[in-house]
Amino acid sequence: MFANLNGQEQLQQRKVRFADHNELSEDKSEYDWYGWIDHLISLEFHKAIEELEKEISELEKELEELEDKNKKRLKSDTETDLKFIKYLTKHFNNPEEIIKELKSYVDEDKSRASNRMKSHIVLVRYFAEKVQIKMTEETNEFIKGIKIKYEKKQELKDCVKKTLNLFMLLQIKIQLNNMTKRLTIIS
């Protein structure tokens, strides 16, 4: 997460929630949001939503724990992250809608949290680009599969046509042979 100096120590002590493979960046100041986004995209849709819902419940628990402590910045960061993850869960297949909701949040709140949310907007753009690339690859593979099936059908049709042509030629040959026999018998 995009940590700030005051909450940095607490952020480093937190578990790295957003997928097991995520780690703090080299300077230990921020979480690997991009790795988390890549991880979500790699999952099946329902698994990604399950993981997001799990993250929401963990962040809500963390917010409850922070209510008692005087950690305003950490609480603000956690609330902002929670909003971001809720929007991501709600509109997982529609990044434009996520950005619209995040922008409305930024327009309403001109505080430090809005700067964090602007960082999340950049993440959603990254997410949208990655999803578009994945969808394009899947579409291309689907089209390729259809082309292969069509080509196989076409080959089958060509084979059937050739077989029918051979069969017709065979019938013509048989008829010609029969006609030749009749002509021979008649003569």
* SS3 state at 1: coil
> Cβ of 162: how many Cβ atoms within 10 Å?
10
Phi, psi at residue 28, to the nearest 5°? 60, 20
pLDDT value of position 25: 43
144-160 burial code (b ≥16 CB/10 A, e <16): eeeeeeeeeeeeeeeee
Phi, psi of 3 (to 5 degrees): -80, 155
Radius of gyration over alpha carbons of the chain, in Å?
A: 32
Q: What's the Cα-to-Cα distance from 164 to each of 154, 155, 168, rounded to whole Å?
A: 15, 14, 6
Nearest CA to 81 out of 109, 102, 65, 67 is that of 102
**Measured in Å, how far apart are the chain's first and last C-alpha atoms?**
102
Which three-class secondary structure state does DSSP give residue 102? helix
Q: What is the pTM of this model?
A: 0.54
Cα–Cα distance, 97 to 66 (Å, whole number): 30
Distances (CA, A) of 117 to 88, 114, 122, 127: 12, 5, 9, 15
Token representation of residue 25: 């960046």
Spell out the per-residue pLDDT of the chain, length 187, in tens: 344 434 444 444 443 333 333 444 444 445 678 888 888 888 888 888 898 899 888 888 888 887 766 677 777 788 888 888 888 888 887 788 888 888 887 777 666 566 777 788 888 888 888 877 777 887 778 888 878 888 888 888 888 888 888 888 888 888 888 878 777 776 6
**What backbone torsions phi and psi does residue 37 show, to the nearest 5 degrees?**
-60, -45
Tokens 């230990």 sit on residue: 28
pLDDT at 16: 37
Residue that is written with structure tokens 């999952």 in the block: 43
